[in-house]
Amino acid sequence: MNVDDYLTELSPLFSGRLLLKREIRLDEQLFQTLLQNNLFKEIRSIKKYIGFYECQRCFNQSSHYFGRLPDRTVYCKKCIMMGRVSEKEPLYEWCGPDAILDKVSQACEWNGVLSPLQKHASLKIVEAIQNRSQILIHAVCGSGKTEMLYEGIAHAIEAGKKVCIATPRTDVVRELAPRFRRDFPNIKSCALYMNSTEKDVNAHLVIATTHQLLRYKDAFDVTVIDEVDAFPFHNDPTLKKAVKRATKKDGSTIYLTATPRLDMKLKKSFQLIPAVSIPLRFHGHPLPVPKFHYIHQLEKQLKEEKIPADITDWFKNRKRRYLIFVPTIEMAEQVSVMLDHTPFVHAESPDRAELIQQFRNKKMNRLITTTILERGVTFPSIDVAIIQADHHVFDEAALIQIAGRAGRSHADPNGDVVFFYETKTRAMVSAKKEIVLKNEEGKKWKEETGEVEKI
Amino acid sequence: MHCYVCFESIHSKTTWGHLFQLFNRKICLRCEKHFEKLQAEHACLKCMKPIEYHDGQMCDDCLAWKKRLNEDPLERNVSIFKYNDFLKDVMSKFKYRGDYEMVYVFEKDLQKAYVENFQNMPLTITPIPLSKERYEERGFNQAEAIAKQLNKPIVNLLTRTHTEKQAKRTKRERVFSENPFQVLEVKEGMNILLIDDFYTTGTTLRQAALELKSKGADKVYALTLIRS
């Protein structure tokens, strides 16, 4: 074996990566030799501009996220959980041969049938991947976005391309990964999120939270961004830069969303980005339209630790299991106590994954949650209630997403969605309007094509 | 002003008093609430291990040390915080991830503990050192970082040879491990205050104290951030 052969063995570990020295884990002497032979390139990790710094790993520029070590070296606190970068701790980029992925001839083994609308989107995605261009898929909640991706992803992997599905939320990664492993049994895949133990060694498919993409540079031919409008992606420009860096210069990017924010809506209407709209769910039934339920002095009653009678009545009349959304963690705790210690989940609850799993396995009848479960998670056949839907955390996108949790299964396509509120907000009205609009669009589509969506 | 732990901005009522206090705040009230302080009344006289029923006594561990070494080289240890989950996260970010500035959060409590326990004692403050390898890996010595918060002169009296991380050993392995410390300089009859981040079994501090005493130091005390 000559040097080149050894290098092709190293390339799967480092190709497309942006790493710290301690993440490279090579023998010191070997590492220095590789560095001298320009197989690793050193990148200054903290860039100094006039008046501010920029972390070259996480693109952070806010001064309160920079600290100084005792010798005055500047380091970045924002991405410190991935290992510290400082002026004296550079990043390294692999400049050796690119990794070559194993050949796969039959990537996808999913036998399901796509609805005509899904088929339409699926073709557009394949087209975008072939042309190495961008596309926005605006599909309502529960339209089967994941399945629409299958053909495109299979196509890319069979062509030797590396694919990444990035999403802002860990829960979504944990839900997507097993689905892809089931339907793509012949490929190497890896799920990356904080504290996951998996490692990307020449994986065809990487399913990751957007934060994990900070360790990549020019790595992916296809990047799918699920839930582009979700926190923290939509209001953090640094993550957008990170995703762009992780994608190859000539790679294609696919944006998926049910509730595009203003910037995406504008891009769509100015035709800066090709877009596909999916107004119908995969089972062809319309979206459940939220009911508004006014409650007199809701906030006051909750403060006095009383659950208003109308809400308890709603609980009593449930035939399905249900999710209760509340605006804050404190409120979740409080409501939990008032409802005989019904379990609750929020961003900081340690047993979140476990409780969600229990609810999914029908071990409990109801679950209280903050907006953490507003998207990405699918429970078949549930009802949804929001207590204090007029709270400012429930913006239009959040409300549409929450309403979209109901009626997701083919067997039970309806679900009850109710917003308990005291003061009607603009977000509530426009969310309802958007849902009604999408239902009309779907109805029109059905009439035009004469197709009744059914699987 | 932003919290050094959660990085959220610190909100405070705008009064003249706050105008000056605000610049000193390193931690928001929400994070500060999670710190649990140790109570000296319900703890071992020597090492501050929380004991319920033996007020004003020494814990079994300290008695065992006394028996094992004939005379305990450590006069007394003062710790400030209980080791809870929140502090575990803070310390792992500070020590293992290397967020040096996290130490500023402890400034006030450290100074307070020093004033309450060691004020007006002629003590030489010395941090427990790191081995050269570990220092280079981390970029700073956490014990030295803590000692600096006292705003008093610091003298490095010790060096340390490289051993496995304490946190990865069992209690027995720790207690009977070889002494990794060497004394650089000690004057006859010196009184010393050792500074470290954790008091877990007390082995490290006693090993350092033993070495210092054998070279002529008189009394050795310890101030540690956490009693775990």
Residue that the structure tokens 């001298």 belong to: A36
- Cβ burial of B169 (10 Å; 0-12, 13-18, 19+) is middle
pLDDT at B78 over 70: yes
Predicted ipTM?
Answer: 0.88
Instruction: Name the pLDDT band for B49 (thresholds 50, 70, 90).
Output: confident
The C-alpha atoms of residue B213 and residue B192 are separated, in whole angstroms, by: 10
**Distance between CA atoms of A379 and A397, rounded to whole angstroms?**
19
Question: What sign has the CA pseudo-torsion B214, B217, B219, B225?
Answer: negative
**Which residues in B have their CB inside 8 Å of a CB on A?**
2, 7, 93, 97-101, 137, 139-140, 144-145, 148
Residue A112's pLDDT is 87
Give the pLDDT of residue B40.
77
d(CA A410, CA A347): 30
What is the nearest CA distance from B101 to chain A, expressed in angstroms?
Answer: 6
pLDDT of residue A454: 47
Report CB contact under 8 Å: A75, B98: yes
Chain B residue with Cα closest to A67: B101
Contact A18, A101 (CB under 8 A): no
The pLDDT of residue A455 is 40
Average pLDDT, chain A: 90
**What sign does the CA torsion over A182, A183, A189, A193 have?**
negative
Token match 């958007």: residue?
A434
Tokens at residue A216, please? Answer: 């990549």
Q: Is A228 exposed, middle or buried (0-12, 13-18, 19+ CB in 10 A)?
A: buried
pLDDT, tens only, A398-454: 999 999 999 888 888 889 999 999 999 999 999 999 999 999 998 888 888 766 544
- Give me A31's structure tokens: 């590492």
Cα A114 from chain centre: 22
Residue appearing with tokens 């003590």: B123
* Phi and psi angles of residue A325, each rounded to the nearest 5 degrees, phi first: -95, 135
- Judged by average pLDDT, the poorest of A147-151, A304-308, B24-28, B145-149 is B24-28
Q: Is A80–B100 a contact, with Cβ atoms under 8 angstroms apart? A: no
Q: Chain B partners of A80 at a C-beta cutoff of 8 Å?
A: 93, 97-99
Supply the DSSP symbol for A307: -
- The answer, yes or no, to whether residue A376 has pLDDT greater than 90, is no
pLDDT in the model for residue A222: 96
Name every chain B residue with its beta carbon within 8 A of the beta carbon of A67: 99-101
Q: What SS3 state is found at A65?
A: helix
pLDDT, residue A162, reads: 95
- Contact at CB, A68 and B2, closer than 8 angstroms: no
Q: What is the largest CA-CA distance in chain B?
A: 58
**What is the reported pLDDT for A410?**
85
Across the beta sheet with B191-199, the strand order is: B74-82, B219-227, B191-199, B124-127
A88, A73 Cβ separation under 8 angstroms = yes
Q: Which of A247, A252, A248, A240 is nearest to A58 (CA)?
A: A240
Residue B60: which residues within 8 A CB-CB, separation 6 or more? none
DSSP string across A380-396? SSEEEEEETTTSTT--H
- What average pLDDT does this structure show over B198-214? 92
Q: What distance in Å separates residue A88's CA from the closest CA in chain B? A: 10
Work out the pLDDT band at A284, boundaries 50, 70, 90. Answer: confident
Q: Note the pTM of the prediction, 2 decimals.
A: 0.84
Chain A contact set for B97 (CB, 8 A): 80-81, 83-84
CA B224, CA A452: separation in Å to the nearest integer? 72
Beta strands in B107-186 (DSSP E): 124-127, 158-160, 181-183
Residue of B nearest to A70 (CA): B140
What pLDDT score was predicted for residue B19?
63
Backbone phi, then psi, for B227, in 5-degree steps? -105, 110
Task: With CB atoms and an 8 Å threshold, state whether B98 touches A73.
Answer: no
Q: Round to whole Å and give the CA distance between A200 and B119.
A: 55
Query: Which pLDDT belongs to residue B95?
Result: 92
* Sheet of strand A18-20: strand arrangement: A18-20, A91-94, A40-43
Average pLDDT over residues B138-142: 91
β-strands A382-387, A417-421: how paired? parallel
